[in-house]
């Protein structure tokens, strides 16, 4: 399965002028929109309503995953998301792809989270110094946390609400919290569950189609 094409975007624009129930029924019948039914009930459901908001109303239009209208995603070409991971799906997030960002499978991101991949130059605040942020699989980034450039977080890293993460915890399997974030608890790797969903999607893109999508559209 491939993502909806520009022709389908045009169809969606036309359908947006008629009642929502009709629009939804027409689009849901198309195989390109199978993501709604197949991600229903998952941690990050991708809906046709989200897709229309992004493609028709042009709210974070470049993001290939569902986002909330109050979240901001910049340079999504530089952002690699795993299966069932949608940074900015919750309200008030800022996901800055001036540098590069990669996030592993099944990592969940709460509201008002900032993920920053570039800082301003100290000598010239018009310029940015790009870096890379890497967040592992099966993590949880709590509400209001900020992940700063250069940070690497391993699998099963839980970031407490309001934390400011200034350094890396590449080993993962831990809880970190505070400003600056520090280790507050280690997790037993044997107790950590690597669950899988029946249908796996990177945002709106089915897993088996994602390698091709990444090669054609992403810079990371």
| pLDDT cut 90: percent of the chain above it | 84
Q: What is the pLDDT confidence band of residue 1, given thresholds at 50, 70 and 90? A: very low
What's the CATH code of the domain at 208? 2.160.10.10
- Length, in residues, of the chain: 220
Mean pLDDT of 103-130: 96
Beta partners for 201? 206
Predicted confidence (pLDDT) per residue in 24-69, tens digit: 887 889 899 999 999 999 999 999 999 989 988 899 999 999 999 9
The total of structural domains in the chain comes to 1
pLDDT(13) > 50: yes
**Catalytic residue of the set 120, 128, 195, 217:** 120
Contact 65, 80 (CB under 8 A): no
| 199 catalytic residue (yes or no) | no
Task: Specify the pTM.
Answer: 0.90
In a domain, 65, yes or no: yes
User: What pLDDT was estimated at residue 26?
Assistant: 79
In a domain, 1, yes or no: no
Structural domain for 204, as ranges: 6-190+197-217
Q: What's the rounded Cα separation, in Å, for the pair 168 and 185? A: 15
């Amino acid at each position: 399965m491939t993502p909806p094409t520009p022709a389908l975007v045009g169809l969606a624009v036309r359908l947006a002028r008629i009642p929502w129930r009709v629009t939804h029924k027409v689009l849901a019948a198309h195989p390109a929109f199978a993501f709604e039914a197949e991600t229903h009930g998952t941690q990050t459901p991708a809906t046709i309503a989200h897709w229309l908001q992004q493609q028709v109303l042009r709210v974070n239009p470049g993001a290939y995953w569902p986002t909330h209208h109050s979240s901001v995603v910049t340079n999504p070409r530089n952002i690699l998301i795993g299966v069932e991971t949608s940074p900015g799906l919750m309200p008030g997030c800022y996901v800055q792809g001036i540098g590069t960002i990669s996030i592993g499978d099944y990592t969940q991101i709460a509201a008002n989270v900032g993920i920053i991949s570039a800082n301003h130059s100290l000598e010239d605040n018009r310029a940015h110094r790009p870096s890379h942020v890497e967040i592992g699989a099966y993590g949880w980034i709590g509400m209001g946390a900020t992940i700063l450039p250069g940070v690497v977080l391993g699998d099963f890293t839980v970031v407490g609400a309001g934390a400011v993460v200034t350094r890396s915890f590449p080993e993962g399997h831990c809880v970190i919290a505070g400003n600056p974030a520090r280790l507050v608890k280690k997790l037993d790797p044997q107790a950590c569950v690597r669950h899988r969903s029946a249908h796996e999607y990177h945002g709106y893109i089915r897993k088996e189609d994602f390698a091709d999508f990444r090669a054609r559209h992403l810079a990371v």
